[in-house]
């Protein structure tokens, strides 16, 4: 027997039953096993000897593995042709979690996107509902929204968690413009707000054709400086993430020219537009449709629009449907893969719309952002907690630093 169990920040090498016995106190976690032939069988046997609390065999298309699953005594099997290949799930060790990955297809690219010696990190908790992460590379800090608590939070490696702004007007999505200034979607002010470099707050847009915006939700800045944002009614539907109020405008997606002060509707055929992100070449704009509030018939999905040279949109085809959960917020890496929120973690979607795989997270994910020294650290806003994981992929630079 010779197998390695990737366990948090260290590997446990199992070469004998004695090793397995010693490891049994550390490996009592649910483990997904997959592989081809002897490798998968060996790993499964080692984990069984080590006392894993549940062994789930997911690749029953391999005949030898299927036989071994029966003989060794797998607790559960899943017969799938092209999904669920996983490693280590949800055992917390001092703020770290064993990295759990599901990769779709035997040759999934996601296998090269994650590093199994880079665990999922739990950075902070005690919030009500987190959204809107944005990385400030010049400060080495992440800014994000704790919406129901009406505050913007700040996290850095050296200082940990602090309150960036108490009384944030129920800010939701955040980004940076080409000058490096913070741009925020405010539920409370029903506006797009910009924090100037001296700390002064400027209202960029709060009305369209004389009527109040609903509750701007997510925002991105294009390389030409234009600001694009979604405006569903979620922030005015209750008093939990803003102030309950009358809806004056349809739920739409807007483009704002901050120099001219011109606000233009770019997409109007939404019930509840939510997260949005540009592709690396800015020729595509991905927008989430998460449906009208409290609508049981809503069918959340992601759409892809073509972006013309004059910044008009066309198309709007169905791009992908996240399952389970919804695409609340997402960002692209340099290769155009979309890393999106989901109920079971972060899903990685190829530029052509296929699910490449998942990074499992213990809480429902709402939004993500790339950051860190090499822009390869994915920060994850998940319900009441902030997580992060290092990837073998980099985010789009202008979405991180927002500078030329």
**pLDDT tens per residue, range 338-351:** 999 999 999 999 99
Beta strands in 24-149 (DSSP E): 30-33, 54-57, 76-77, 86-87, 92-93, 96-97, 101-103, 120-125, 130-136, 141-146
Q: 290 with 269: CB under 8 angstroms? A: no
CA distance 283 to 144: 27
99-122 mean pLDDT:
74
Predicted confidence at residue 15, as pLDDT, reads 45
Residue range(s) occupied by CATH 2.120.10.30 in the chain: 121-400
CA distance 288 to 275: 5
For 53, what's the count of Cα atoms within 13 Å in the CB-facing half-sphere? Answer: 10
Architecture of domain 121-400: 6 Propeller (2.120)
The bridge status of strand 182-186 relative to strand 191-195 is antiparallel
pLDDT band per the 50, 70, 90 thresholds, residue 75: very low
pTM: 0.77
Residue range(s) occupied by CATH 3.50.50 in the chain: 3-106
- Bond prior to 324 in cis (omega within 30° of 0): yes
Predicted confidence at residue 96, as pLDDT, reads 56
Number of Cβ within a 10 Å radius of residue 315: 12
Paired strand residues for 339: 331, 348
Q: Which of 5-14, 122-131, 160-169, 341-350 has the lowest mean pLDDT?
A: 5-14
Name the average pLDDT for the chain: 81
Predicted confidence at residue 43, as pLDDT, reads 52
2, with CB counted inside 10 A (0-12, 13-18, 19+), is exposed
pLDDT exceeds 50 at position 132? yes
CA distance 284 to 277: 9
299, with CB counted inside 10 A (0-12, 13-18, 19+), is exposed
250-261 mean pLDDT:
96
Structure tokens at 144: 């994000």
CA distance 244 to 233: 10
Q: What does the radius of gyration of the chain's CA atoms come to, in whole angstroms?
A: 22
Predicted confidence at residue 104, as pLDDT, reads 57
395, with CB counted inside 10 A (0-12, 13-18, 19+), is buried
Structure tokens at 375: 């822009």
User: Would you identify the CATH topology of the domain 3-106?
Assistant: FAD/NAD(P)-binding domain (3.50.50)
């Amino acid at each position: 027997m010779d197998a390695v169990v990737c366990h948090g920040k260290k590997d446990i090498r199992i070469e004998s039953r004695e090793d397995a016995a010693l490891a049994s106190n550390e490996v009592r976690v649910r483990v997904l096993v997959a592989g081809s032939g002897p490798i998968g069988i060996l790993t499964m046997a080692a984990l069984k000897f080590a006392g894993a609390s549940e062994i789930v065999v997911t690749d029953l298309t391999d005949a030898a593995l299927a036989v071994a699953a029966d003989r060794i005594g797998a607790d559960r099997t899943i017969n799938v042709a092209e999904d669920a290949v996983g490693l280590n799930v949800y055992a917390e060790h001092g703020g770290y979690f064993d990295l759990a990955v599901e990769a779709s297809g035997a040759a999934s690219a996601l296998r090269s996107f994650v590093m199994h010696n880079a665990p999922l990190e739990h950075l902070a908790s005690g919030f009500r509902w987190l959204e809107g992460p944005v990385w400030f590379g010049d400060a080495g800090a992440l800014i994000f929204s704790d919406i129901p608590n009406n505050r913007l939070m700040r996290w850095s490696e050296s200082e940990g968690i602090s309150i960036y702004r108490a009384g944030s007007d129920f800010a939701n999505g955040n980004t940076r413009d080409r000058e490096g200034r913070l741009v925020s979607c405010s539920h409370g002010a029903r506006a797009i707000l910009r924090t100037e470099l001296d700390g002064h707050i400027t209202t960029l847009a709060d009305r369209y054709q004389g009527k109040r915006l609903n509750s701007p939700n997510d925002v991105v800045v294009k390389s030409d400086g234009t600001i694009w944002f979604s405006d569903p009614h979620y922030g005015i539907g209750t008093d939990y993430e803003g102030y309950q109020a009358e809806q004056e405008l349809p739920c739409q997606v807007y483009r704002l020219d901050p120099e001219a002060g011109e606000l233009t509707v770019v997409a109007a055929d939404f019930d509840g537009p939510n997260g949005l992100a540009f592709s690396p070449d800015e020729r595509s704009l991905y927008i989430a449709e998460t449906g009208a509030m409290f609508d049981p018939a809503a069918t959340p999905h992601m759409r892809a629009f073509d972006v013309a040279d004059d910044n008009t949109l066309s198309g709007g085809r169905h791009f992908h449907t996240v399952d389970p959960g919804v695409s609340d917020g997402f960002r692209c890496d340099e290769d155009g893969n979309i890393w999106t929120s989901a109920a079971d973690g972060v899903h990685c979607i190829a530029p052509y719309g296929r699910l490449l795989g998942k990074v499992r997270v213990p809480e429902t994910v709402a939004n993500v952002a790339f950051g860190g020294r090499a822009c390869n650290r994915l920060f994850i806003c998940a319900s009441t907690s902030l997580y992060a994981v290092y990837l073998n992929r980099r985010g789009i630079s202008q979405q991180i630093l927002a500078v030329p």
